[in-house]
């Protein structure tokens, strides 16, 4: 039976786009005297729970920050372990995603990922492309600044080739050239682990997102935490620069 705390009947409609900075796997493992990989493994289970819960609640877009551009600076062993978990996730979970009507989309710099992982991503995106229950966006090898630089470069090429006039370079043109083209901006960004920073996540897109920082470590994140964050979101007054009521 669902307790009052886990019921989400009163939360409709949920925010269209929820984005999560999944942080704290290492500290979760350290607190238990385990290797960091153990934390990442448990973190993958939290991903499963969260995807399922978000879909049940009717979230349209769920973006998960899984690996940043800067995470390449971690020790090679940890990067290898994280890539191994990613491979497992893509191999084993996509079937479930597909069965549940979820579309998978990956944002980030694919040129730095292994060829086999890129192939798995392309296969998974193609397989789930027609699904409409929810879009799961995985941010992999993703950095907000790099994304904006890449958009600027693409726009520069369009201008140089005469396909775009300089005065047509506006917010819409910039948005069109980001990885998130066609997606709504996140309404709610959650960061776990107690850190209160954005760490290069969705820098352009977060302009008017509501931010929720939770002390829970990512491997412990459960449906009650997601529901609590959405409850918090519903209590905020979003103004988008206009005067308050």
Give residues in contact with Mg ion (CB under 5 A).
23
For residues 141 and 177, which CB has a smaller minimum distance to ligand IPE in the complex?
A: 141
| Residue 220 appears among annotated catalytic residues | no
Tell the smallest beta-carbon distance from residue 172 to ligand IPE (Å).
28
- Active-site residue 71, yes or no? yes
Is 188 in contact with 228 (CB distance < 8 Å)?
no
Three-state SS for 115? Answer: helix
Task: For 63-89, give one letter per residue: b (16+ CB within 10 A) or e.
Answer: bbbbbbbebeebeeeeeebbbebbeeb
Coil, helix or strand for 192? Answer: coil
From 150, 185, 195, 224, residue interacting with ligand IPE (rule: CB under 6 A): 195
Tell me which DSSP letter residue 161 carries. Answer: T
Among positive and negative, which fits the CA dihedral 141, 132, 16, 229? negative
CA distances from 200 to 67, 182, 210, 219 (A): 11, 21, 16, 21
Does residue 221 interact with ligand IPE by CB under 6 A? Answer: no
Q: For residues 21 and 57, which CB has a smaller minimum distance to ligand IPE in the complex?
A: 21
Choice between 25 and 205, CB closer to ligand IPE = 25
**Strand 188-191 with 17-21, pairing:** parallel
Active-site choice (10, 25, 71, 177): 71
Among 6, 71, 100, 131, binds ligand IPE (CB under 6 A): 71
Question: Minimum CB separation from ligand IPE for residue 228, in Å?
Answer: 20
Strands (E), 61-101: 61-68
Q: Is residue 177 close enough to count as binding ligand IPE by CB under 6 A? A: no
Q: Which is nearer to ligand IPE, 137 or 155 (CB)?
A: 137
Does 37 bind ligand IPE (CB under 6 A)? Our answer is no
CB atoms within 10 A of CB 31: 11
Residue 233's binding partner among ligand IPE, Mg ion, none (Cβ under 5 to 8 angstroms by kind) is none
Nearer to Mg ion, 68 or 128 (CB): 68
Shortest spacing between CB 167 and ligand IPE, in angstroms: 37
- The answer to the question of residue 79 lying near ligand IPE (CB under 6 A) is no
Count CA atoms closer than 13 A to 165's CA, side-chain side.
2
What is the binding site for ligand IPE (CB under 6 A)? 21-27, 65-68, 71, 82, 193, 195, 197, 199, 218
**Catalytic positions:** 23, 71
């Amino acid at each position: 039976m669902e307790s009052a705390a886990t019921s989400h009947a009163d939360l409709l409609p949920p925010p269209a786009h929820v984005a999560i900075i999944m942080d704290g796997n290492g500290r979760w493992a350290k607190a238990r005297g385990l290797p960091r990989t153990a934390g990442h493994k448990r973190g993958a289970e939290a991903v499963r729970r969260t995807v399922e819960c978000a879909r049940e609640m009717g979230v349209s877009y769920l973006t998960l920050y899984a690996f940043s551009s800067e995470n390449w600076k971690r020790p090679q062993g940890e990067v290898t372990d994280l890539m191994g978990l990613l491979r497992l996730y893509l191999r084993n979970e996509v079937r479930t995603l597909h069965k549940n009507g979820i579309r998978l989309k990956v944002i980030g710099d694919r040129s730095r990922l292994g060829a086999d992982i890129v192939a798995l991503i392309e296969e998974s995106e193609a397989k789930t492309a027609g699904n409409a229950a929810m879009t799961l966006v995985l941010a992999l090898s993703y950095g907000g600044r790099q994304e904006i630089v890449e958009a600027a470069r693409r726009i520069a090429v369009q201008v140089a080739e005469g396909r775009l006039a300089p005065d047509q370079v506006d917010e819409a043109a910039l948005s069109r050239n980001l990885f998130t083209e066609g997606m709504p901006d996140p309404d709610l960004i959650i960061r776990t682990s107690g850190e209160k920073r954005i760490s290069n996540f969705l820098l352009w897109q977060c302009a008017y997102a509501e931010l929720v920082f939770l002390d829970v470590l990512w491997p412990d994140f459960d449906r009650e935490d997601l529901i609590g964050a959405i409850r918090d979101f519903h209590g905020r007054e979003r103004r988008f620069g206009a005067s308050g009521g």
